[in-house]
Homo-oligomer: A and B are copies of this chain.
Amino acid sequence: MRVFVSLVPPRCLRLEELYLNWYNFANEALRYEVENPRSFGKAHRIVVVGMGGSAIAGDMIAIIANSTGSIPVFVWKDFYTPKTLIDDSTAVLAISYSGNTRETILSLEQALRRTDMVGVVASNGKLLEIAKEKRLPYIQVRRGLVPRAALPILLYASLALLEACDVKLVEKSDVNEGIEVLRDVETAKSDSIYIASYLQRARLPLIVATTRYNALATRVKNELNENAKMPAKVEIAPELFHNDIVGWEAAVVSDRALIIESDIEYERALLSFYAEYLQERGFEVTELKLRGRSLLARYLYGSLVAGLASVRIAKMRGVDPMTTHSISKYKNLVTALEDRVRSSIEY
């Protein structure tokens, strides 16, 4: 049984305070121990299985691996994984904050039949039980949070688990920079106030990013969904220039767009072109500015601003950012469906 030095009393804190505590959470995550480490060194790809606020850490790791790692990382979000994706040369990382996400448990069970390189990141639940029983590499993270508030914990624990299993995706200097950008909460707060007052007047905002910031655009959308109870639409450049852009030519709606800045100069030019186009179509457009040099730091900073902004929008709209009733209803359905799911899946 692990005991955490409680920097903050979990659960009873409001979501905003949890986000403002990310600097401490990230530092805490660096101190977690990896249980049962073993080498994933012979793996030629990594597949992350998970859903929602847990899988987004995998999405970010996939982007970072493409930039600074040496092995491709893919994320699969479903009750199964395709048989082509996981073989005995694949390392699988299952991330579920609660440890009880049914999709992730079933995907983990499948993975165990195909490869012996399987790791787990969870705070609790069935996933941890399986990890202990099968002596899989795992990290048990702090309990009592909502998954979205645990982002830096899930991200850093996942990177640490992979590193302990001989898969190094980021340099120590990037890890440290990622923590540093979380320290300056005043700047993040100030940026989030601007973004919140901007997006609060949107009906279904358009979140735009380039491929390298794909997972941050998804994170921003998910935070608006879960905290502010606001739908959003994500589009990724340059692909959006080959289809979505035409959709606005005769659109009967226009709204507010949030464009996530890129650190690559030609991508900035593409995004500027798109911002002007959207404005011509009646959109208001603003930019989410990021901080830091490394992708990891920029992702963490952008996620912090999005989290704070979405909580602020929730307050403005009079909704509770902590509760997600419709996800709970879905989870009841899945529990009822579990036997049918299990009998449909090829192991």
Contact = CB atoms under 8 A, between A and B. Distances in A.
A327 B78 contact: no
Given A238-B79, A266-B341, A52 B243 contact: yes
Counted per complex, copies of this chain come to 2
Interface stretch (A34-42, A63-71, A123-131): A63-71
Nearest to A232: B247
B44 A239 contact: no
A264 interface: yes
Contacts of A164: none
Interface in A231-258: 231-233, 236, 238-239, 241-253
Given A85-B72, A230-B251, A51 B246 contact: no
The 8 residue pairs across chains A and B that have the minimum distance between CB atoms: A52-B242, A66-B82, A229-B250, A231-B247, A225-B247, A222-B243, A241-B330, A229-B249
A84 B55 contact: no
A204 interface: yes
Contacts of A30: none
Interface stretch (A10-18, A151-159, A297-305, A317-325): A317-325
Given A204-B253, A239-B77, A241-B330, A264 B229 contact: no
Interface in A24-76: 44-45, 51-53, 55, 65-67, 69-74
Contacts of A8: none
A18 to B, nearest CB: 17
A224 interface: yes
Interface string A327-345: 1011001100100110010
Interface stretch (A137-145, A175-183, A269-277, A285-293): A269-277
A212 to B, nearest CB: 9
15 contacts: A66-B83, A70-B84, A77-B211, A203-B251, A221-B244, A225-B247, A229-B249, A229-B250, A231-B233, A232-B247, A249-B326, A250-B317, A265-B340, A270-B333, A273-B333
Given A229-B246, A326-B277, A84 B103 contact: no
Interface of A: 44-45, 51-53, 55, 65-67, 69-74, 77-79, 82-85, 103, 203-204, 210-211, 221-222, 224-226, 228-233, 236, 238-239, 241-253, 264-266, 269-270, 273, 277, 317, 319, 324-327, 329-330, 333-334, 337, 340-341, 344
A341 B269 CA distance: 10
Contacts of A77: 211, 236, 238-239
Contact of A65 (B84, B204, B232): B84
Contacts of A242: 51-53, 55, 327, 330
Contacts of A204: 204, 233, 251, 253
